[in-house]
Amino acid sequence: MDFDPSGGIICLSETRGELIVWDLNQQVLISSLKAGGSLVRFQPGSGKFLAVAKKNVITIIDWQASRVINNLQGHVKDINSICWDITGETIASTSEDDVRVWSVFNGGQCIHEYPSDGRRFQSVIFHPRYHSVLIIGGYQVTLPSASIMIDVSLLYLHLSNC
């Protein structure tokens, strides 16, 4: 579920695979699309596009035109988190196996890939002030014999250094 940048529209993804867009001010259903997924995020700024993650694919949708713009494919495992950068041109996504940064409107290419190296990535967000800094949240579980070690980590990735 996510609000558009104006705060007057909310989008949610139902378990039936349907994407529902509501106008909260007028209290009416604006759109219903067969493009639901586990995660939904409006593009910052204009809110024209929605990023919808389903399993290991992110679909970029022009929700007002009910049209798929792009499918971002490359993750092996299911996507846990997605985040637009402040410009609305780039999306970061994470699954347990890696973090990827996508150029949404330039062919949907993966422009950065960062492997987990045994950690289990769970979340990702761009820093609000330093736009080339990506914060990654994750954990690592080790089960040697009967002892359990859990390592919760917060990493940052400076994209210009990749």
CATH number at residue 51: 2.130.10.10
Number of domains in the chain: 1
User: Is pLDDT larger for residue 150 or for residue 36?
Assistant: 36
14 within a domain of the structure (yes/no): yes
**Which stretch of DSSP H or E encloses residue 101?**
strand 98-103
Report the sign of the C-alpha dihedral through residues 85, 88, 89, 93, in that order.
Answer: positive
160 within a domain of the structure (yes/no): no
pLDDT band at 127 (very low <50, low <70, confident <90, very high): confident
Q: Which pLDDT score is estimated for 146?
A: 45
Query: What's the domain range around 20?
Result: 2-116
111 within a domain of the structure (yes/no): yes
Query: Residue 111's CB: how many other CB atoms inside 10 A?
Result: 12
30 Cβ contact partners less than 8 Å away, ≥ 6 residues apart: 9, 21, 22, 23
The mean pLDDT of the chain is: 86
